[in-house]
Structure 1
């Protein structure tokens, strides 16, 4: 939807920002505490039955969700559009997408909620799965996807050895099956992914520390900067600048989580001349400073090790 259309649609409000502020941003269905596990899985019945089979519109700033609908009528409201998918189907909802559900009584399926920090190889802007994971996706669920979701749910309920690692592997499998299904659809002639964008994603990953600008990426793909801008908007709905910064910020999160490199050095390594500016941009993306993020990761790791 064009931003001006959004403003007109909510013309009874003082501004679009007021509308956005009115949409709840939840960690997990309203809980505001730190995410309690490597991921979360539950049956739709267990969550929705106590809410009269309705989940009001909300969004998750740092979480990706998969809804597997095995049976039952479902109405999905996502970004001001209503969908009524036919089961069995899987719905992939990126972080930040406003969504709500009306389920028919007795609907069966699973809700899988994944902190993007815990699966950066899938959700990073430079990941090969990024184009599939960055958009709302609704598609038929084959037996392979259903089996993977069921296995993940079983593993989530268990407390066996290497549980966290196994959960990450199963979540990765589900994401890859979704991405592959999308790719198969595109190869059949529907909404085929532009190979120039695939090359751009690879180049961003390759030159993450080189501080390349849009002109350098455009030259490497034999496009003008204007053509590159249109390509990014078509494939991801965002600008080149945002895509580049998002990739650097995802890498910053990875280094904050998995290395003891100082915050200042991480900023310099990723092409930021001023660590203070880096910290401000990090807070803009994730709602917390790099120092706060690193402290949160340490707490999450302690929780995960206890669960294992």
Structure 2
């Protein structure tokens, strides 16, 4: 792993400085006589995660690759860039919630099961009628409460919205077959370093300074640095940078979102900061990296198509 001696890029302002309405949307979908369709990746919703609670009827979510059949009661979680639209048949009803990465990150980190909830938030999940038998009655009031907070826009609404979003993620984790915690036994290094990796996984999008990682772990920065050097051969800042770069590469390769939305989803204030960070470590700006990956994929497809 290479050592990156640079400081972390600028971060988003605190959630309290950003109006809740710009970070989250909620819609109560009442029954209708005709089918309806919602464009999930509309401009104002790009880079957001979406939660759909279907309480009546059926529908379909059109994904980047394929479709997801929906039949009430069900709960679907759609990470950024995963879905294109949601169509409900006549009589369909439920709730739809969209949340920016800032809220999702804080909602997962607020739980004692933060690693598991972050794992949940990064996956496409569908909880069908069998698993939803008991969860529906508990989740309806949660979605109703989020809608109420968005309408009222009262003091502390963002904090309450984060708490409710954490409840939704917890229900998704409870009803899915995702392991409760990522195993640490196969991770190299000391207990301190293993714990550091888990905290990095939860907070690398927030661009914490290393001092905050050390404080969260209850160790000094010197001890954290020593543990990281012994286990990874580089300092803790390089570990954080490497995780951030890994996620950036994955999103640039797999997500249809523009570079600006990828940057925002990774916690950068603007595209310029992301471009500098990516180019400094990868030798090219993110746009060029994405074009190169697409060109290489196109050449591979051409090669395979020529096989007998």
Alignment TM-score, normalising by the size of structure 2: 0.51
Residue 96 (structure 2) aligned to one of 101, 108, 111:
111
Alignment of 1:80 with 2:96, yes or no, is no
Task: Within 5 Å, give how 1:63-142 maps onto structure 2.
Answer: 63-122=48-107, 127-128=114-115, 129-140=117-128, 141=132, 142=135
Cα offset for 1:87?
0.8
Counterpart in 2 of 1:44?
29
CA distance in 2 between counterparts of 1:154 and 1:35 reads: 12
Alpha-carbon distance in structure 1 between the residues aligned to 2:118 and 2:50: 14
Q: Please show how residues 297-308 of structure 1 align to structure 2 within 5 Å.
A: none
Alignment of 1:195 onto 2:183 = yes
Total equivalences in the alignment: 204
CA-CA distance at 1:117 after TM superposition: 1.7
Answer 1 or 2: higher relative contact order, Cα 8 Å, separation at least 6: 2
CA RMSD of aligned residues (A): 4.7
Unaligned runs of 5+ in 2: 1-18, 189-193, 205-209, 211-224, 234-242, 251-262, 288-308
Aligned mates of 1:82, 1:284 — CA distance in 2: 29
Return the offset for 1:138. Answer: 0.7
Q: CA 1:130/1:105 → structure 2, altered by over 3 Å: closer, same or farther? A: same
Partners in 1 of 2:185 and 2:34 — Cα distance?
42
Structure 2 distance, partners of 1:160, 1:55, is: 28
* Distance (whole Å) between structure 2 residues aligned to residue 250 and residue 101 of structure 1: 24
Measured against aligned partners, the alpha-carbon deviations of 1:238-287 in whole angstroms (never above 9, x if no partner) come to: x99614989xx899838x69xxxxx99xx9xxxxxxx94358789849xx
Contact preservation (8 Å) 1:38, 1:167 = no
Do residues 216 (structure 1) and 232 (structure 2) align?
yes
Partner of 2:267: 253
SS in 2 for 1:40: strand
Pairing partner for 2:246 from 242, 248, 265: 242
Q: Which residue of 1 aligns with 2:255?
A: none
Contact 2:33 2:91 in 1 (8 A): no
Q: Which residue of 2 aligns with 1:7?
A: none
CA–CA distance in structure 2, aligned partners of residues 170 and 147 of structure 1: 10
Q: Is the 8 A contact 1:39 1:115 kept in 2?
A: yes
- How far does residue 93 in structure 1 lie from its aligned partner after superposition? 0.4
Partner of 2:150: 156
Counterpart among 124, 143, 146 of residue 140 in structure 2? 146
Alpha-carbon contact 1:120-1:250 (below 8 Å) kept: no
Q: Distance in 1 between matches of 2:244 and 2:170?
A: 25
CA distance in 1, matches of 2:277, 2:71: 47
Does structure 2 retain, via aligned residues, the 8 Å contact 1:204–1:244?
Answer: no
- CA shift at 1:111, angstroms? 0.8
Distance 2:173 2:197 in 1: 20
**1:90 Cα shift?**
0.9
CA deviation vs aligned residue, 1:183-242 (integer Å, no higher than 9, x gap): xx356xxxx8762499698542456746969x839xxxxxxxxxxxxxxxxxxxxx9961
**Alpha-carbon distance, 1:123 to partner:** 6.0
1:152 & 1:117 partners in 2: Cα distance? 16
Aligned counterpart for 2:169 among listed residues 175, 178, 187: 175
What's the CA shift for 1:179? 2.0
- Contact 1:73 1:86 (8 Å CA) reproduced: yes
Shift of 1:58: 3.9
